[in-house]
């Protein structure tokens, strides 16, 4: 446990210090949400209707931004070798890294999402529901991203490949995330079922992601 | 404690790098792996560290800690220093101390490599030799019986080289095992030599 806590704290420290890029995702999210009203035009009803979907797309793209550095920096400076030689199982070490990544990149998105809702003419209640679905769904995005990041780690320009690998796998998360938000805002479908499925997707990804990523890393280092 | 390897072979990218490598080391013994560039010195060390799959052969550690693998009882000092530029010298070392499982003796380890005065400096400002010394401090901070050193003296000045030799002698004296890859002497007088690619 002590090993994992140390790894978690180190990754958080690295992310918030200069060059770590913890807030880049949130800033990118802000810019996407700011650009949309300009592109779509001043149709307030339309903006409010597509707002949740736009916020989800923005969050999805923003969560991709920092993903390619998740293992790549540790691979380049040799830290990954030592992480694999630690006494903590690699799967748990990866889970600790994923948690640090989620706390520093996804959680800020959840926090700023309600503010961005303002730009999309959403009501306060709608914004809190979108933030809630993001809170439930972003762990799935991070853990699915883990697999792609681990596969792309040995490639020099893995970032683009990563997006191609990861985005198709996030479709279910996107569908149920937006469905739950819309259900909460407009009805008539109840909020419960899509939201529960979203939570289930996150829980399943948290279990599968680290194991798949560990297998990919073990294979990739040879 | 006895570290042994039998008929190890390494194939990378379809090319056989080495084959039929065997050695056995008891407590307090050191092995110096030599050979021309590309003979597989680093690959052999990575294989022992569990970072590279064996193409053939077997590896074992007798009388070690039964519930830990060889990798978990070994230190690997590779070409890269595994340091984060934005963390300070002390933060880098105490992270590896905590992760690899040590009592927090980071200060003493920094003394051993002569970096105590720089402990608050971000690792980004260290020279190549200082970075090397900081990674060597890791070997001191965390007690593990097997040291796998890949050209440990590269970038080190002569005082630091003799410091390292002193540390290695202390480790062997305490019953440790060292496998080092190098091109020249690294200050281990009684080390056996394994020449790769001698055919």
Q: Across the interface, which of A10, A83, A85 has its CB nearest the CB of B49?
A: A85
- pLDDT given at position A87: 83
Quote the ipTM score: 0.84
From first to last of its 199 residues, chain B has per-residue pLDDT tens of 888 888 888 888 888 888 888 888 888 888 888 888 888 888 888 888 888 888 888 888 887 777 778 888 888 888 888 888 888 888 888 888 888 876 666 667 777 777 777 777 888 888 888 888 888 888 888 888 888 888 888 888 888 888 888 888 888 888 888 888 888 777 777 777 777 775 4
Q: Which H or E run includes B135?
A: helix B128-141
pTM of the full structure: 0.86
From first to last of its 222 residues, chain A has per-residue pLDDT tens of 788 888 888 888 888 886 667 778 888 888 888 888 888 887 878 877 788 888 888 888 888 888 878 888 888 888 888 888 888 888 999 999 999 989 888 888 888 888 887 777 777 787 888 888 989 999 999 999 898 888 888 776 777 788 888 889 889 999 998 888 888 877 777 878 888 998 999 999 999 999 999 988 888 766
Contact A81 B76 (CB under 8 A): yes
Rg (alpha carbons) of chain B, rounded to whole number: 17
Instruction: Measure the CA–CA gap between B136 and B113, rounded to whole angstroms.
Output: 7
B71 lies within 8 A of chain A by CB: yes
Query: Which of B71, B83, B84 to probe by mutation at the A interface, max A CB count within 10 Å?
Result: B84
Neighbours of A26 (CB within 10 A): 23
Region at B138 (left for phi over 0; alpha for psi -120 to 50; beta for the rest): alpha
Query: Which of A2, A69, A81 to probe by mutation at the B interface, max B CB count within 10 Å?
Result: A81
Contact A150, A93 (CB under 8 A): no
Helix ranges (H only) for chain A are 2-16, 24-40, 44-65, 69-76, 79-84, 90-101, 107-119, 124-151, 158-169, 171-185, 192-220
- Encode B155-165: b = buried (16+ Cβ within 10 Å), e = exposed: ebeeebbebbb
- pLDDT given at position A203: 93
Q: Which residues of B touch A75 (CB under 8 A)?
A: none
Contact A6 B98 (CB under 8 A): yes
Interface of A with B (CB under 8 A): 2-3, 5-7, 10, 13-14, 17-20, 76-79, 81-88, 221-222
Instruction: Measure the CA–CA gap between B4 and B14, rounded to whole angstroms.
Output: 26
Contact A81 B82 (CB under 8 A): yes
* Alpha carbon separation from B77 to B49, B128, B147 (Å, rounded): 10, 14, 8
* Alpha carbon separation from B131 to A197, A200, B97, B170 (Å, rounded): 49, 45, 16, 22
Q: Which residues of B touch A222 (CB under 8 A)?
A: 52-53
3-state class (DSSP) for residue A185: helix
Distance from A38 to chain B by nearest Cα, in Å? Answer: 39
* Binding-face residues of B in 115-144 toward A, CB within 8 A: none
Q: Which residues of A touch B86 (CB under 8 A)?
A: 13-14, 17-20
**Residue boundaries of the structural domains of chain B:** 2-83+142-195
Contact B78 A17 (CB under 8 A): no
Half-sphere exposure in the Cβ direction for B68 (13 Å, CA): 18
Is the preceding peptide bond at B181 cis, omega within 30 degrees of 0? no
Structure tokens at B149: 């050193």
Domain covering B2-83+142-195, topology: Rossmann fold (3.40.50)
Distance from A81 to chain B by nearest Cα, in Å? Answer: 7
List the single residue in A with minimal CA-CA distance to B49: A85
Q: Across the interface, which of A77, A84, A87 has its CB nearest the CB of B51?
A: A84
Contact A40, A46 (CB under 8 A): yes
Contact A14 B53 (CB under 8 A): no
Q: Which residues of B touch A79 (CB under 8 A)?
A: 82, 84
Instruction: Measure the CA–CA gap between A138 and A60, rounded to whole angstroms.
Output: 8
Instruction: Measure the CA–CA gap between B128 and A76, rounded to whole angstroms.
Output: 16
């Amino acid at each position: 446990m002590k090993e994992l806590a140390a790894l978690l704290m180190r990754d958080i420290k690295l992310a918030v210090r200069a060059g770590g890029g913890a807030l880049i995702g949130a800033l990118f999210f802000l810019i996407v949400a700011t650009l949309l009203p300009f592109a779509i035009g001043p149709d307030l009803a339309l903006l409010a209707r597509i707002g949740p979907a736009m916020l989800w797309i923005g969050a999805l793209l923003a969560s991709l931004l920092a993903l390619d550095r998740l293992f790549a920096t540790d691979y380049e400076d040799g830290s990954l070798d030592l992480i694999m030689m630690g006494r903590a199982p690699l799967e748990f070490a990866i889970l600790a890294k994923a948690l640090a990544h989620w706390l520093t990149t996804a959680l800020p998105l959840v926090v700023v999402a309600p503010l961005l809702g303002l730009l999309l003419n959403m009501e306060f209640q709608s914004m809190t529901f979108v933030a809630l679905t993001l809170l439930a769904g972003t762990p799935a995005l991070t853990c699915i991203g883990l697999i792609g990041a681990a596969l792309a780690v040995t490639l020099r320009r893995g970032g683009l490949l990563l997006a191609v690998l990861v985005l198709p796998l996030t479709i279910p998360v996107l569908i149920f995330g937006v469905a739950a938000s819309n259900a909460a805002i407009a009805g008539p479908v109840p909020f419960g079922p899509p939201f529960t499925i979203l939570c289930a997707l996150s829980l399943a990804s948290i279990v599968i992601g680290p194991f798949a990523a560990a297998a990919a890393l073990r294979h990739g280092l040879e | 404690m006895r570290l042994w390897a039998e008929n190890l072979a390494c194939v990378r990218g379809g090319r056989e790098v080495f084959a039929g490598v065997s050695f056995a080391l008891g407590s307090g013994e050191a092995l110096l792996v030599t050979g021309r560039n590309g003979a597989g010195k680093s690959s052999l060390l990575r294989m022992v560290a569990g970072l590279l799959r064996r193409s053939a052969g077997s590896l074992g550690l007798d009388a070690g800690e039964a519930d830990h693998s060889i990798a978990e009882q070994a230190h690997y000092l590779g070409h890269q220093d595994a340091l984060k530029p934005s963390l300070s010298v002390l933060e880098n070392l105490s992270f590896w101390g905590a992760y690899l499982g040590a009592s927090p003796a980071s200060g003493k380890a920094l003394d051993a490599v002569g970096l105590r005065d720089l402990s608050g400096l971000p690792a980004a400002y260290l020279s190549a030799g200082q970075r090397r010394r900081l990674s060597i401090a890791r070997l001191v901070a965390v007690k593990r019986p097997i040291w796998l050193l890949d050209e440990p003296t590269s970038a080190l000045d002569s005082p630091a080289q003799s410091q390292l030799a002193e540390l290695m002698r202390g480790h062997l004296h305490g019953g440790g095992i060292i496998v080092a890859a190098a091109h020249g002497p690294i200050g281990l007088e009684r080390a056996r030599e394994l020449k790769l690619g001698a055919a």
